[in-house]
């Protein structure tokens, strides 16, 4: 199979779909990998490294799309990339379609098979391709939040861990999933006072067993959430409903009552965000202020640590890339119900119920959409 890897074009996105090591795995099995020139150069993965792994280097993305059958990316395809997709393509990348009607329409119009990393599952019902980026984003959320708390960044001028004789910052984490757990670990490690809210009592028990009295766990009720947000210097939005739009847990009215200079880091912004006042930002212009509260809502947070993130992502995605290349996309999807759960668009049809509900359009079950190919 011809596997294409274009250079990412989203703002300050330096990750790359395949590492040289992953390319070597594909070429050793007889597949042809077509890399856009300089796709990984910004993170120390040169064209020479890719050539040594057996890749063919092409000068522009249009040639990659023209010659490839399987397109492996990192971030959701931008409008210019979506125009290059054709019915013979299989796209394998993060999509986050629920809040993005324009992308959904373009992918449906392309006729391509579009598989989203964030909805591929495993036998335990977890999201193995989203997990490594959630780990990165969760850890980054604390260092980003700590930076935003500095007075020069518009924050309260609070040091996250405090110093002897001065209390630490108060951090509230909304959600005890992968993002939340990693945010908590970082915040605790820096000496912050941490409160976590979730509706899953089992998840809260696991955190209590791990961290003991170093954190406070609360069932996520309206009253608990209100108090925890108002007491916080830093709030991490870490809620995820797979494939669906994130619920807006914190209203503008509540934001207006927060401490002046408090910080919100909305890790869920790819799926719409946890805060009513959120809107996506970029690494180039990461923050804005609403009601005296600093908002950090970068939609591709792991892109800031692109080398680490690329290596972590490839560890998870490579087995699926190999299956798609070895078997062909249709057979690989039919053989693996967990990969099939990643199929969001096929043959012009939307096949993810949560996206259809968010956008109020019809959907067709993934298997039904696939067999029409």
Q: Which residues are catalytic?
A: 96, 270
- Which tokens in the block code for residue 236? 């991490």
Tell me how far apart the alpha carbons of residues 187 and 214 are, in angstroms, rounded to a whole number.
10
Q: How many CA atoms lie within 13 A of 153 on its CB side?
A: 22
Ranges of H-type helices in the chain: 20-28, 47-52, 61-67, 79-82, 101-110, 131-148, 178-189, 201-211, 222-231, 252-256, 306-327, 329-335, 337-340, 353-359, 366-370
CB 84, CB 68: distance < 8 Å: no
Tell me how far apart the alpha carbons of residues 6 and 11 are, in angstroms, rounded to a whole number.
15
Tell me how far apart the alpha carbons of residues 234 and 269 are, in angstroms, rounded to a whole number.
16
Tell me how far apart the alpha carbons of residues 108 and 45 are, in angstroms, rounded to a whole number.
33
Tell me how far apart the alpha carbons of residues 329 and 115 are, in angstroms, rounded to a whole number.
10
CB 246, CB 267: distance < 8 Å: no
Helix, strand or coil, per DSSP, at residue 34: strand
Report which DSSP code applies to 275: B
Residue with tokens 């057996």: 54
Residues 6+ apart with CB under 8 A from 197: 172, 173, 174, 175, 176, 217, 218, 219, 220, 224, 225, 228
Helix, strand or coil, per DSSP, at residue 173: strand
């Amino acid at each position: 199979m011809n596997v294409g890897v274009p250079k990412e074009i989203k703002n300050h996105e330096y990750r790359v779909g395949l590492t040289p090591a992953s390319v070597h795995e594909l070429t050793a099995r007889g597949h042809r990998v077509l890399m856009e020139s300089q796709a990984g150069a910004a993170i120390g993965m040169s064209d020479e490294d890719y050539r040594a792994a057996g890749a063919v280097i092409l000068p522009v993305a249009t040639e990659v799309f023209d010659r490839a059958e399987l397109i492996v990316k990192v971030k959701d395809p931008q409008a210019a990339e979506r125009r290059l997709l054709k019915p013979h393509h299989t796209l394998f990348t993060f999509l986050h379609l629920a809040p993005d009607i324009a992308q959904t329409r373009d992918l449906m119009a392309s006729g391509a098979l579009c598989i989203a990393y964030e909805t591929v599952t495993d036998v335990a019902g977890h999201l193995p391709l989203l997990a490594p980026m959630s780990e990165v984003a969760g850890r980054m959320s604390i260092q980003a939040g700590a930076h935003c708390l500095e007075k020069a960044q518009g924050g309260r001028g609070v040091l996250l861990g405090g110093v002897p004789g001065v209390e630490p910052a108060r951090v509230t984490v909304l959600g005890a999933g992968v993002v939340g757990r990693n945010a908590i670990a970082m915040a605790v490690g820096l000496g912050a006072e941490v409160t976590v809210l979730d509706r899953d009592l089992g998840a809260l028990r696991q955190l209590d067993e791990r961290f003991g009295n170093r954190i406070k766990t609360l069932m996520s009720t309206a009253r608990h959430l209100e108090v925890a947000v108002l007491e916080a210097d830093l709030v991490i939005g870490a809620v995820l409903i797979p494939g669906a739009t994130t619920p807006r847990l914190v209203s503008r009215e509540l934001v207006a009552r927060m401490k002046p200079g408090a910080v919100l880091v909305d890790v869920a912004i790819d799926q719409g965000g946890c805060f009513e006042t959120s809107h996506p930002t970029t690494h180039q212009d990461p923050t804005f202020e609403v009601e005296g509260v600093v908002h950090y809502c970068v939609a591709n947070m792991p892109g800031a640590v692109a080398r680490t993130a690329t290596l972590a992502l490839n560890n998870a995605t490579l087995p699926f890339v190999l299956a798609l290349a070895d078997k062909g996309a249709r057979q690989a999807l039919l053989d693996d119900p967990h990969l099939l759960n990643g199929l969001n668009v096929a043959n012009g049809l939307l096949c993810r119920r949560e996206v259809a509900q968010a956008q109020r359009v019809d959907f067709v079950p993934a298997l039904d959409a696939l067999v029409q190919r």
